[in-house]
Amino acid sequence: MSRQVVPEARVARAAAPFRQFIVKVHGHCNLACRYCYLYEGPDHTWRTRPAAAGPEVLDQAVARIAEHAARHALTRVSLVLHGGEPLLAGASRLADCAERLRDRVPENCAVHATVQTNATLLTGERIATLARHGITVGISLDGGLARHNTLRTDRAGRPSWPAAARGARLLADQHPQAYAGILTVIHLAHDPIETYESLLELRPPALDLLLPHGNWSTPPPGLPTRGTPYGDWLCTVFDRWWTAGRRETRIRLFEECLALLLGLPAATEALGTEPFTAAVIETDGSIEQVDALKSAYEGAARTGLDVFRHSFDQALRHPGVAARQAGLAALAAQCQACPLVTVCGGGHYAHRYRAGHGFTNPSVYCADLQRLIRHVAARLAASAARTPGGAAR
């Protein structure tokens, strides 16, 4: 049963259509990372689902996405081929899924397809197949050195790093145009500058630096504490990146923080108050909310809907989805009164959970987010002051 606390008045505003569709083409993984919230966390729904999405599920998912794109006259949708490890389904099946969606959406709707992989199964042939079909490749790593990735092992405890590093280098060398970037969960034990510089060695066009999933009832590693270890870690990387003139790579969290500070819209799950517009299709066709919610409690991402019986418009009316589209109105009173709220937005939804209170709380990373946002604002203001006639707009 859902434990989300969403008063009716907060879900009444018009829904923004989904624009990102995360399709679980394969629900299992060839790795068994020791911190994985999907397989080691409180949610076990993956155990009862088919390992891979069958052709009928992928067909119906594609039909529903196309239907949603047509109904809302979308000019662009994002298709994220996800897992588990999606390459366990084979590169050809991923290509087929992307091509079928391109065939089904209205003519003026572009499909941006990405596969999110642990990189261990990337071969020259598979990368070429993905690139040929216009699928970009996002890689998940804990850093750019073997010792950053010691928790990323297979079920027998063998390190994934040699294969993952080989896959990332193949991608950077052979098909840089298909390289979407690297997603890295922050580990406080890893030096921030060393982590950042080691990732740069893998030549990613973009980096996602993610806070580990946790909440008030199951705090992330290192919290609670009187300090701001995650904020400090991020500020250190920010200074390194900012000083280099931001040319080395894009860092989405920082770019979005800067955009929000300048009053620009930023589509991010981690910051801001823009409606969240991603939906997940599981291997059995279930429509769910994003995986991160599974770090809160068993079934937290469930909607009870599926692509065979329900449209994505019906999913938009689910209270959990609506709560993530309600902006300021859905935030805790403390966040609504916070001077940083237009930038922070209460942080990642999953990080607000407290057992017995649902998600209407500040982020468990509140102090760390304040540290980062104030630091970025100060650097931005100092930079604007140095620019002739410049003031941050």
- Residues near ligand SF4, by CB under 6 A: 334-335, 338, 340-341, 344, 346-347, 362-363, 366, 369-370
Nearest to 271 by CA among 357, 187, 376: 376
Amino acid occupying residue 258: L
Minimum CB distance to ligand SF4 smaller for 95 or for 331:
331
Could you give the strand order of the β-sheet that contains 20-24, starting from the edge strand earlier in sequence? 250-251, 206-210, 179-185, 135-141, 110-117, 76-82, 20-24, 278-281, 286-288, 302-306
Nearest to 61 by CA among 28, 37, 94, 30: 94
CB of 336 to ligand SF4, least distance (A): 8
Contact in structure between 178 and 114 (CB atoms under 8 Å): no
Phi and psi at 93, nearest 5°, equal -65, -35
Minimum CB distance to ligand SF4 smaller for 180 or for 344:
344
Minimum CB distance to ligand SF4 smaller for 218 or for 311:
218
d(CA 317, CA 180): 32
CB of 383 to ligand SF4, least distance (A): 23
d(CA 86, CA 93): 10
CB of 253 to ligand SF4, least distance (A): 14
Minimum CB distance to ligand SF4 smaller for 150 or for 218:
218
d(CA 354, CA 361): 7
Contact in structure between 359 and 321 (CB atoms under 8 Å): no
CB of 118 to ligand SF4, least distance (A): 31
Minimum CB distance to ligand SF4 smaller for 322 or for 340:
340
CB of 364 to ligand SF4, least distance (A): 9
Residues 6 or more apart whose CB falls under 8 angstroms from that of 391 comprise 384, 385
Q: Is 232 left (phi over 0), alpha (psi -120 to 50) or beta?
A: alpha
Minimum CB distance to ligand SF4 smaller for 241 or for 359:
359
CB of 369 to ligand SF4, least distance (A): 5
Minimum CB distance to ligand SF4 smaller for 145 or for 340:
340
CB of 359 to ligand SF4, least distance (A): 12
Pairing verdict, β 110-117 and 76-82: parallel
